[in-house]
Structure formats: C-alpha cells, structure tokens
Amino acid sequence: MDITIDNYLPFWPLAVLAFALLVQLYFLLFVYRKLATRKVQGLPDGAQTPPLSVVICARNEEENLKENLELVLTQDYPDYEVVVVNDCSYDDSEWVLKEFSQKYAHLNVVTLKEDVRFKHGKKFAVTMGIKAAKNNLMVFTDADCRPQSAHWLRYMGNSFEGDKEIVLGYSPYIKHPGFLNRFIRFETFHTAISYLSHALKRNPYMGVGRNLAYTKSLFFKGKGFASHMHILSGDDDLFVNQNANRHNTTICIDSDAHVWSEPKRTYSSYALQKTRHHGASEAYKTGHKWMLSMQVGSAVTFYLFLILCLFLYPEWWYYLAGAYVLRLLIQLVIYRPCMKKLQVGDLLPLLPIMDIFFYFYTTFNGFFSLFKKETRWK
C-alpha cells in the first residue's frame, strides 16, 4: 500500500526517529566505547611520585573533616602536603584542624574570615588554596570525600606524565537504599562515562572537583577563574572546559584512585545541587554545548518519537520494538564494562528504567534551571 502525506500518514516521524537512533548509536559506538575498551592495568613498576599539593575547601565541615581528613593525610606517598581552606566556618572546624595540625606536619591550614562588604563563593576559596600550595601539581577533593585506598595519590601523581597538565579522576557516590540513591549514582555514572569517554576521544570538556588534578602553572596561565568568577559553580568543570585540550588531559579511573562521597538524601537538596551545576554548563564552549545537547536531545527525541510512531504505525510495532531493542542491547554491551570499572554494576538491571528517567529529568531540570539563581555555594 502506498503511504504518502496526501492519502495517509506522513513519514517524517519515522525519519526523525531514525535520525535520533543514529545519533544515539554514534555516541554509544564511537564515544562511550572508548571507556568500555579502556584497560585498567594498575600502577606500573617505577611509577612517578612527583611532589603534590592536595587542596580541600571546607565551610562548616567539622564532622566531615573528623571522618575523612585523616584518610587524605595518611596517603602512601613520599612528598605531599594537604592544604585545607577553612572558608568562614562558624562551627568547630578551626579546632578540628588545629588538632590535625599538631599531629601532621604536612597539613597547611588557610583560614578565611567573613567580610561584611565582600561575599565570596567557592572559587575564591579554591584560589586561596592554590596560592598557598607549594607544589606545581595539585590534586583537588572535598571535605565530604574519602579516598578508596592509600594509593590514591600514587595513581593521580603517576598520571602527570609527558605534557599532561590535567588529570580527570572519578568520584562515585556511596550506596544507600532507595530510588533517589540509585538515580543519583546512575546520573553520576552517566556523567562520568560521558566526560571520561570524550577525554579519551581527545575532546575533554569537564571534570569533577571531588577528584581532579591540574598544575598550578596552568591555573595562572589561564588566569584562574577570572572569566567565570561571576558564576557560582564551575570551579571544576568550567576550569577544565576552558583549559583542557586534546594534548594536555588524561584520565585516571583505577578503582584504588576513586574518591567516594555521600550523596544527597532528599529530592529538594539534589534538585538544588543539579540547578547549580546546570548554571555552570551554560558557560561551556559552544561546541561542547551542542555536543551535550545532541547527546541528551537525541535520547529524548528517540523515546518521544518511538511512542508517537507506535500510535501512528501500530502495524509496524515489531520494527519499532526492534529499534528499541537494538539500542538497549548495544547499551548493555557498552555499559556493562563501564559500570564494572566505575563500581555501579548493581545498576545494570535497572538500565531500561534509569535511562528514561535520566534523560527526561536532565531535560526538565535544564529548562527549569533557567528560571532559578543561586547566590551562595553553602
């Protein structure tokens, strides 16, 4: 039977669906596969251990400092310091840090005081920490983060080989019961598979400050955060977006180099966190914004037009189901080794559900974030 726009149904929904599927297959087979096939071989014999400075910014992080700071201070690394910026804390962080300073000579505490006229965000605190650091190679994390092993710095330090100036690490969230926790861990995995794979494809566009390293010389050569100091967030991803290139960036994903963090426990706090992150992504390079828009937009389009085509062409349901199954099977093949490397393998059976939630949540959050504005980092 001849189906045309004039006498029956239009073909354009099928064309849109096919295009969205092809875009999705491109990201799966030519981008995410980079991480899936990446070999994790551990530390080589004679691994480099250049002097490092670990920089941590903490505002009212008394309990987290008590719980996590010692794990950073007791790393198996020959030459490093830990710079903690006590950023206008009004809890007992000062006394906690004084106790640690008496025990660990390589702890350097920088204390910032609140100024009535000048209100600063995290970027100012990070800048003060960088200025206080005595080494050119710097590793960044947060007060609520805990390294998986005592060899974290050995992996990060060894990654600064050749002309590398930026090392993108990985920071998973701790597993807890409930859907929100599963979704946060899936969203974190999906973000990681994207930025790590693009870095392997020599197109780095972001990093996560919970586990990130770069050189002090690069920071000052790029004039620090000057171009985006007005944006609340972005001390990590915007810096990488503006300073990373195909030659100076590498990744470090060995499990012993992972840094764990506590996830948000309520939907409102998680939504606020994502709104803040979205504000930074608006300042990405144009090419990266288009790339991410195609990545998310093609997935949302695929799902929407799959449903539309099922209504318009019910007699073709088996072809449409085949398109869905094809994409899902390729996802399973690509995601399985990636999830194993990124320690979220328990989420693989939930992929069909989480994938839908992730793309639609990202789209809606991005839209509503346009109407929200954050004015403080904590």
Total-model pTM: 0.92
Q: What is residue 73's predicted lDDT score, i.e. its pLDDT?
A: 98
Where does the pLDDT of residue 4 fall: very low under 50, low under 70, confident under 90, or very high at 90 and above?
very low
- Mean residue pLDDT across the chain: 91
Scan for tokens 């904590």, then name that residue: 378
Residue 6's pLDDT band (cuts 50, 70, 90): very low
Mean pLDDT of 323-348: 98
Please report the pLDDT score of residue 7 as a whole number.
47
Give yes or no for residue 55 having a pLDDT over 70: yes
Interhelix angle 351-369/179-200, rounded to 10 degrees, is 80
pLDDT over 70 at 378, yes or no:
no
pLDDT at 282: 78
Contact 52, 78 (CB under 8 A): no
**pLDDT at residue 47 above 90?**
no
Reported as a pLDDT band with limits 50, 70 and 90, residue 251 is very high
pLDDT attached to residue 368: 61
* 178 DSSP 8-state letter: S
The amino acid sitting at 79 is D
pLDDT band at 179 (very low <50, low <70, confident <90, very high): very high
pLDDT given for residue 232 in this prediction = 75
- pLDDT level of residue 375 (50, 70, 90 thresholds): very low
Find the mean pLDDT for residues 191-211. 97
Question: For residue 190, what are the β-bridge partners?
Answer: none
pLDDT, tens only, 116-169 = 667 788 999 999 999 999 999 999 999 999 999 999 999 999 999 989 999 999
Grade residue 279 by pLDDT with cuts at 50, 70 and 90. Answer: low
For residue 28, is pLDDT > 90?
Answer: yes
Helical residues (DSSP H) of the chain, grouped into ranges: 12-26, 33-36, 62-73, 93-103, 122-132, 152-158, 179-200, 216-221, 237-243, 267-281, 286-312, 317-341, 351-369
Tokens of 283: 């300042």
Neighbours of 29 (CB within 10 A): 13
| For residue 5, pLDDT beyond 80 | no
**For residue 315, which amino acid is it?**
E
pLDDT of residue 373: 56
pLDDT > 70: percent of the chain: 92
Confidence of residue 277 (pLDDT cuts 50, 70, 90): low
Indicate whether 79 pLDDT > 70.
yes
* Dihedral, 147, 151, 153, 154 alpha carbons, nearest 10: -160
